[in-house]
Amino acid sequence: MDTRPIGVFDSGLGGLTCVKKLMDVLPGEDIIYLGDTGRVPYGGRSRETILKYARQDIAFLRRFDIKAVVAACGTVSTNGLEEIAGDYDIPVFGVADAAAAAAARLTKSGRVGLIGTKASIRSDAYDRKILALRPDTVIVKRACPLFVPLVEEGRIDPHDPVLRLVAEQYLAELRDARVDTLILGCTHYPLIARTVGEIMGPEVRLIDPGAETAQRLKTELARLDAGNPARRGQRRYYVTDSAEDFGRAASLFLEAHVEGDVKRVSLEEKTDE
């Protein structure tokens, strides 16, 4: 047993889709979440900048005595996370491995769609991971750069006309390509899964990287005998911009009142905790 918290980070609200799944499958775990809201989105940035931000995010989380880090960010997970993971003495998980494994396992036709940020799609990391598991897979992919700003603006209602229009345009070629599985390759996207699902059609299975990663973490913590099963976990949230805005949105997404648990921090300075 290891009662230390798990550190989770993303550029903004997206990583909360992973936190929600972690709360479901590992309810006893304490979670410290960092949303780098002052610098969201990461997805249009260079690999060097993304890695620099990831290191700073992990350094912040390591000010607490955490037992593992989850990069609940598709962009970080596909842009060199594996290269820096070895620099830490605790396990560092990305979200792409578990999602790629789920896609390779679940596709029947072998035609897998992938949507993500520009940086994730450019990286080819998903292609490599899926093809290593299932070499005959055809991967059809599309960057969807407007989805993250729309989600951060709270435009997640399936009837939102702007979201609908943007999603129709982004997803048209994937629908035409007749994929049977679609990886929501950015952790913001499960928040608009209903819209994506309606456009893709009921026969297309959507893969949520945060959900797959939560399951993987559960297995891994059990294997390492590092779980914290005995109690109800606590969650604390840190952001690099307005705590109020984040708290309001996070409460909606997590279906829980988290406003009081959100603090604004600077990644350069030490916190008092």
Q: How far apart are CA 228 and CA 26, in angstroms?
A: 8
Q: What angle do CA 83, 85, 88 make, to 5 degrees?
A: 135
Contact yes or no for 237/37 (Cβ under 8 A): no
User: Of residues 101-130, which lie at the interface with ligand DGL (CB under 6 A)?
Assistant: 117, 120
Among 5, 7, 35, 43, binds ligand DGL (CB under 6 A): 43
Q: How many residues bind ligand DGL (CB under 6 A)?
A: 16
73 is catalytic: yes
User: Of residues 218-247, which lie at the interface with ligand DGL (CB under 6 A)?
Assistant: none
- Give yes or no for residue 14 binding ligand DGL (CB under 6 A): yes
Instruction: Compose the 61-80 pattern: x for residues touching ligand DGL by CB under 6 A, - for all others.
Output: ------------xxx-----
Catalytic residue (one of 22, 26, 73, 171): 73
Spatial CA neighbour of 57 closest among 75, 44, 1, 194: 75
Catalytic residue (one of 186, 204, 217, 226): 186
Which tokens in the block code for residue 196? 């994506």
Nearest approach in angstroms of CB 1 to ligand DGL is: 31
Question: Given strand 181-184, what is the order of strands in its sheet?
Answer: 138-143, 111-116, 181-184, 205-207
- Give yes or no for residue 187 binding ligand DGL (CB under 6 A): yes
Among 5, 19, 34, 42, binds ligand DGL (CB under 6 A): 42
Q: How far apart are CA 9 and CA 36, in angstroms?
A: 8
- Give yes or no for residue 186 binding ligand DGL (CB under 6 A): yes
User: Of residues 148-177, which lie at the interface with ligand DGL (CB under 6 A)?
Assistant: 148
144 is catalytic: no
Stretch that binds ligand DGL, among 20-28, 181-189, 221-229, 261-269 (CB under 6 A): 181-189
- Which residues are tagged catalytic? 73, 186
Residues near ligand DGL (CB under 6 A) are 10-11, 14, 40-43, 73-75, 117, 120, 148, 186-188
